[in-house]
Structure 1
Amino acid sequence: MIDIKNKLFIVDDHQLVIDGIQSLLNNENSYRVVGYCNRPLDALNQLEVTPTDILLTDINMPDMSGVELTRLVKKRFPTIKVLALSMFGDKQVIREMIEAGISGYILKNTGKQELLYALSQIINGHTYFSEEVTAELMKMPTHQNGTGALTNREIEIIRLIEKELSNKQIADKLFISERTVETHRKNIFRKTSTQSVIGLLKYGYEHKII
């Protein structure tokens, strides 16, 4: 028999949170929790052998943060979508999680209906951010476009790309690692729906970024 349920994997260092989410989804026809763990490193190993559609992850965890876990998951398992779970909607953390590649961000005080709606949106290729998280996002200075919000750092990198600087030169100029620049570039291309530097520069000119 074909399993048509969407497969969820949960990572949280508090077992009570995992048990609570499982309880909420027990009788749902569209979702099935296929695995869970309390340590991010264990999650990476289990995802290798556990087909998963959505990873639900805490942010503040020992050994590895949800931000770093998301980066690794999106690199190793690009088809897995990530929904962040947190007690707080700190704008810096939200920014880092967005840049890492999440599809949604909800608070742990979320009720069942909002959780189901968030999962539905993500499964269908959309993003979902809870009302409190959205309020924090609105406070961030960004450039809005059709596919997402470019951060000030991303706009800065676009302008440096236009000056024909290499990733290493950009990293040295901004005092960040070359790997971080590469991550920013991937996010920029995704958000602007471009696939080449020429396409990106055209986007930048059209939107008056450069």
Structure 2
Amino acid sequence: MINPQTKLFIVDDHQMIVDGLKSLLNNEDQYQVVGCSNQPLDVIKLLETTPVDILLTDINMPEMSGVELTRVVKKQFPSIKILALSMFGDYQVIKEMIDAGISGYILKNTGKQGLLEALRRILEGHTYFSEEVTQELMKGHPVTGTCCLTNREIEIIRLIEQELSNKQIADKLFISERTVETHRKNIFRKTCTQSLVGLLKYAYEHKIV
């Protein structure tokens, strides 16, 4: 059975960027660019009639920013995953995009393999931030509040950031999977987060990873 193609939609006010992305993805059988737009205000209406798996969006656009577009898309089409594309990796902008609900953030100087890796990881249910973006997040000013986490919980957060499964974490720490799951529940409760994206954002802000 042939796997269905992943449907992509590209939003950028610069046609050259749109054309470049389409060119990079044209020969990739797994992906199909089902729509493009230079006008973020038109995107919502287009998404109502065009099934999309991943939306690739610029951040600095006239009339509606990538942050605003992400918020609206995630509210009206929560199943659509969003990959942010930007020329810059500014900490505050990255944080706003994460809060809005993105699944990934890469810079526009990323090569084809980096783009494909980001799409693959997002499709697998992970979040993806390019190395430059991750470094910028780690520069963010920490806030207070990590004292409520135990050393073991901090250790587990760092292993989660490395995308280890509960079993892998259990094997590495010589504890049971059930114990790992208990730690994870406590971590989410203490950090007041409900998703891996939220937990990673918390971890970056508090310089845990």
1:190 equivalenced with 2:198 (yes/no):
no
Give 1:39 deviation, angstroms. 1.0
Q: How does 1:1-210 map to 2 (within 5 A)?
A: 4-140=4-140, 141=142, 145=157, 188-191=193-196
Using the aligned pairs only, state the percent identity. 67
2:173 aligns with none
Secondary structure of 1:49's aligned partner: coil
Q: TM-score by structure 2 length?
A: 0.69
Structure 1 residues 155-192: Cα deviation after superposition (integer angstroms, max 9, x where no partner): xxxxxxx9xxxxxxxxxxxxxxxxxxxxxx8xx33349
Give 1:126 deviation, angstroms. 0.4
Mapped to 1, the partners of 2:116 and 2:16 lie a distance apart of 19
Mapped to 2, the partners of 1:7 and 1:131 lie a distance apart of 26
Residue pair 2:98, 2:197 contacting (<8 A) in 1 also: no
User: Tell me, which stretches of 5 or more residues in structure 1 are unaligned?
Assistant: 149-161, 163-184, 194-210
Give 1:41 deviation, angstroms. 1.1
Secondary structure of 2:97's aligned partner: helix
Structure 1 residues 37-66: Cα deviation after superposition (integer angstroms, max 9, x where no partner): 011111111011100000000000000100
Give 1:87 deviation, angstroms. 0.2
User: Tell me, which stretches of 5 or more residues in structure 2 are unaligned?
Assistant: 147-153, 162-189, 199-209
Secondary structure of 1:189's aligned partner: coil
Secondary structure of 2:48's aligned partner: helix
Mapped to 2, the partners of 1:2 and 1:115 lie a distance apart of 23
In structure 1, what residue type is equivalent to 2:90? D
In structure 1, what residue type is equivalent to 2:75? K
Mapped to 1, the partners of 2:48 and 2:2 lie a distance apart of 21
In structure 2, what residue type is equivalent to 1:27? N
1:197 aligns with none
Between Structure 1 and Structure 2, how many residues are aligned? 158
Residue pair 2:127, 2:197 contacting (<8 A) in 1 also: no
Mapped to 2, the partners of 1:62 and 1:123 lie a distance apart of 29
Give 1:29 deviation, angstroms. 1.0
Secondary structure of 1:13's aligned partner: coil
Structure 1 residues 81-132: Cα deviation after superposition (integer angstroms, max 9, x where no partner): 0000000000000000000000000000010000000000000100111111
In structure 1, what residue type is equivalent to 2:132? E
